[in-house]
Amino acid sequence: MDLWLPRKAEILELYALGDQSQAQMAERYGVTLAGFQKALARLGIAPKSRGRMGEANGRFRDGTQSTAYRAMIEKTHCNRCGTSEALLIHHRDGVHTNNTPDNLEVLCSPCHTRHHKQEYWARVKGSQS
């Protein structure tokens, strides 16, 4: 706490009120991301909302990533096993910028993981031939 308390005003200015991400702040202070997140909690500084859009979002890369596809499909059940738990949207062709409805499929987390494990092992075995 002795390390972070004198820096609280700077952290508020650069991170909470500014445009610096947690990763940028961690790098600035030479600590891990987890270490900086713990410091935020100890100082009582709430993490920034993940609801920021575009360049204001800490995960923004080049503008091609979009999450609008998530609202395009109603997630009621997994298309493979039928469960209604832990549902997400899978891009069938693996291209995350191809958000056409025929490329999107509702899967539960276990089925999605299983699908990608099968793809991975098919590539590994194919490269050993």
pLDDT at 61: 61
Chain centroid, CA 69 distance in Å: 15
Quote the pTM value. 0.50
Cα separation of 8 and 14, whole Å?
10
Chain centroid, CA 64 distance in Å: 15
Question: Virtual CA dihedral for 12, 26, 41, 67, nearest 10 degrees?
Answer: 90
Q: Judge whether residue 46 has pLDDT over 70.
A: yes
Nearest 5°: the CA angle 111, 100, 96 is 60
Answer with the residue of higher pLDDT: 39 or 125: 39
Answer with the residue of higher pLDDT: 44 or 48: 44
Task: Kindly report, residue by residue over 58-92, the tens digit of the pLDDT.
Answer: 556 665 566 777 777 889 999 999 999 999 999 99
Cα separation of 91 and 103, whole Å?
6
Q: Nearest Cα to 7, choosing from 42, 57, 48, 50?
A: 42
